[in-house]
Amino acid sequence: MQRRTRSRFEPALVLAFALSSGACVIIDPDAVLCAVGTQSCSCTPGGGCDPGLSCEAMVCVDPDGGSGSSGLVGSDGSSSGTTEPGTDASSDGGSSTGADAGPNLVFVTSTLHSGGSLGGPEGADAICQARAEAAGLAGTYRAWLSALGDDANARLAGARGWMRTDGKPFARDLQQVLAGEFFFPPVTDESGNEVPVPDYIWTGTTAQGVAYDVDGTALCSGWTEDLAEGFAGIGGLGAAAAWWTEYAYQPCSATARLLCLGVDGDSDITVEPTQGRRAFVSAQFLPATAGRDAADAACASEASGAGLSGTFLALVANTGESPGARMNAAGAPWVRADGMPIFHDGDLLGLTMATPVLFDASGAMTPLAISWAGSYGVGETATDADNCTNWTSASGFAAMFNVWHVHWQGWTIDGHSMSQECAQGGYAVICLEQ
């Protein structure tokens, strides 16, 4: 950990949640195109739906398995007229009710709290529960927070299947959570609003899901004291891999949010991958002086080795141009190996991603958080000072992209500029299909 002193038209992903009764709730996460309160769309913040519909996992469904028109709205404002498949609420003809009738929800609190004011994991749970109830969310919620003898990974009580409060999928199970290989990172609050990144959550928890006392103060005395000299661990909001839970540490008197997970549901999640062009992080680590042609060759070779067709280019900039200048931004969306679109549609190559690139062409998570860029913005013209003198010199610095975080470019979190010495060694590149 590092010490921290604190001073859309998006392709719809269809999630099928297989309930213990054998029923299936179909959810369209593209809530922007949904009329709130209508069938197959989001419930109101208080859990309300149109007459005849019930709110299950914050989605309005027909408890009788009817086949009425959904509330999906086209880009012109007209109803799609589609019917909702697989909405039989239970295998025995009864309706499914209660907190276990669908996937769990996950959110970050809209409120900030000092480390010493949390009152231990139980107090943090109470904060999560209060925020959920204020937003009209049903179910039981627990904070992702560890104390000595009370590890976060043991506090989820066998729950499976989580979605964000905006309807996007988060994770199938605890193993995926611990790996940091989320479908979409948890960046929405209890009301479904996206929290701007960078920001942080209190965790006191390693990537293995267990307590980590960074300085011998027992995690702010069990999260009960704003110790003047005490520190505790935080996770990076919008981050994946280990960073989501084990990013840095900050004083107990500083503030951060909490990550809250529902624990009532035990649901299987099937996520249909988005069809699009592949984006991946190279498995090869190239020295700065290898040059962009070598980076392009690495992208092409690794794509071919993974059975991918098409043309692949490295997202790096030569002097006098931007990294995005030669990218075909007008094509199909760029997707990771797991089929998740990495950019918010309508904001291709934007400042913030929908989910980090994270994986190489084979689907393995990349071991390093950064990749060569050559410019501090995907649309910013590169200079010799930003790309190791046009990738020819082992002296100086190069700007980098972040492949573990949705805040992936222009990285200056807490004053740390995202650049690396040209002589420091090899790094990967981001490869995009054209």
Domain assignment present for 64: yes
The residue with greater pLDDT, 90 or 46, is: 46
Q: Are residues 80 and 122 in the same domain?
A: no
127: CB partners within 8 A, 6+ apart: 109, 111, 113, 118, 143, 258, 260
In the predicted model, what is the mean pLDDT of the chain?
Answer: 81
- Averaged over 300-320, what is the pLDDT? 97
97 vs 209 pLDDT, higher one: 209
For residue 28, what are its two tokens?
């369209």
User: Does 295 reside within a domain?
Assistant: yes
> What is the tens place of the pLDDT at every residue in 204-260?
999 999 999 999 999 999 999 999 899 999 999 999 999 999 999 999 999 999 999
pLDDT at position 60: 59
Confidence of residue 425 (pLDDT cuts 50, 70, 90): confident
Is 434 found in the same domain as 290?
yes
Does residue 7 surpass a pLDDT of 70?
no
Does the residue 268 lie in any domain? no
Overall average pLDDT of the 333-342 stretch: 95
Model pLDDT, residue 410: 74
The answer to whether residues 93 and 117 belong to one domain is no
The residue among 24, 35, 38, 37 whose CA lies nearest residue 46 is 37
Q: What is the pLDDT of residue 55?
A: 65
State the Cα–Cα distance between residues 65 and 124, nearest whole angstrom: 38
φ/ψ bin of 366: left (φ > 0), alpha (ψ from -120 to 50), beta (otherwise): beta
Residue 15 in any domain: the answer is no
Model confidence pLDDT, tens digit, residues 21-60: 222 233 333 333 334 456 655 445 455 667 788 766 445 5
Co-location of 154 and 283 in the same domain? no
pLDDT value at residue 23: 26
- Contact between residue 146 and residue 205 where contact means Cβ atoms under 8 Å apart: yes
Report the CATH number that the domain containing residue 393 is assigned in CATH.
Answer: 3.10.100.10
Is residue 258 located within the same domain as residue 299? no
pLDDT tens for 104-122 read: 999 999 999 999 999 999 9
User: How far is it, in rounded angstroms, from Cα 210 to Cα 216?
Assistant: 15
Residue 4 lies in a domain: no
Q: What is the pLDDT of residue 293?
A: 98
Q: Are residues 130 and 248 in the same domain?
A: yes
Task: Please state, in angstroms and rounded to a whole number, the distance separating the CA atoms of residues 192 and 126.
Answer: 19
Last residue of a domain, one of 63, 78, 99: 99
pLDDT at 265 over 60: yes
Residues 160, 290 share a domain: no
Between 423 and 14, the more confident residue is 423
Same domain membership, residue 157 and residue 75: no
Q: What is the average per-residue pLDDT within 266-292?
A: 94
108 - beta bridge partners?
Answer: 259
Q: Are residues 95 and 163 in the same domain?
A: no
173: left (phi over 0), alpha (psi -120 to 50) or beta: beta
In a domain, 328, yes or no: yes
Radius of gyration, alpha carbons of the chain: 23
Domain region containing 177: 104-262
What is the pLDDT, as a whole number, of residue 75? 28
Whether 281 and 340 map to the same domain: the answer is yes
pLDDT (0 to 100) of residue 311: 97
Whole-number pLDDT of residue 40: 55
Tell me: do 405 and 285 sit in the same domain. yes
SS (H, E, C) the chain: CEECCCCCCCCCCCEEEECCCCCEEEECCCHHHECCCCCCCECCCCCCCCCCCEEECCEEECCCCCCCECCEECCCCCECCCECCCCCCCCCCCCCCCCCCCCEEEEECCCCEEHHHCCHHHHHHHHHHHHHHHCCCCCCEEECCCECCECHHHCCCCCECEEECCCCEEECCHHHHHHCCCCCCCCECCCCCECCCCCEEECCECCCCCECCCCCCHHHHHHCCCCCCCEEEEEECCECHHHHCCCEEEECCCEEECEEEECCCECEEEECCCCCEEEEECCCCECHHHCHHHHHHHHHHHHHHCCCCCCEEECCCCCCCCCCCCCCCCCCCEECCCCCECECCCCCCCCEECCCCCECCCCCECCCCEEECCCCCCCCCCCCCCEHHHHCCCCCEEEEEECCECECCCCEECCEECEEECCCCCEECEEEEC
**Structure confidence at residue 47 (pLDDT):** 59
**Residue of 266 and 16 predicted with greater confidence:** 266
The domain boundary residue, chosen from 235, 262, 289: 262
| Beta bridge partners of residue 49, listed in sequence order | none
pLDDT at 169 over 50: yes
The per-residue pLDDT for 52 is 80
pLDDT at residue 330, rounded to an integer: 87
Instruction: State how beta strands 397-402 and 54-56 pair.
Output: unpaired
Number of domains observed in the structure of the chain? 3
Which band of pLDDT confidence, cut at 50, 70 and 90, is reported for residue 64? low
- Single out the residue in 197, 232, 262 at which a domain terminates: 262
Sign of torsion over alpha carbons 314, 315, 318, 324: positive
How far is it, in rounded angstroms, from Cα 47 to Cα 165? 12
**pLDDT at 137 > cutoff 80:** yes
Q: Classify strands 416-417 and 169-171 as parallel, antiparallel or unpaired.
A: unpaired
Whether the pLDDT of residue 415 is over 50: the answer is no
Query: Which of residues 412 and 38 earns the better pLDDT score?
Result: 38
- Residue at 316 is within a domain: yes
278 plus 257 within the same structural domain: no
Q: Which of 48-57, 148-157, 170-179, 289-298 has the lowest mean pLDDT?
A: 48-57
- Please tell me the predicted confidence (pLDDT) of residue 72: 30
- Asked whether residue 240 is domain-assigned, the answer is yes
Residue whose structure tokens are 């043309």 = 311
Q: Are 355 and 169 in contact (CB under 8 A)?
A: no
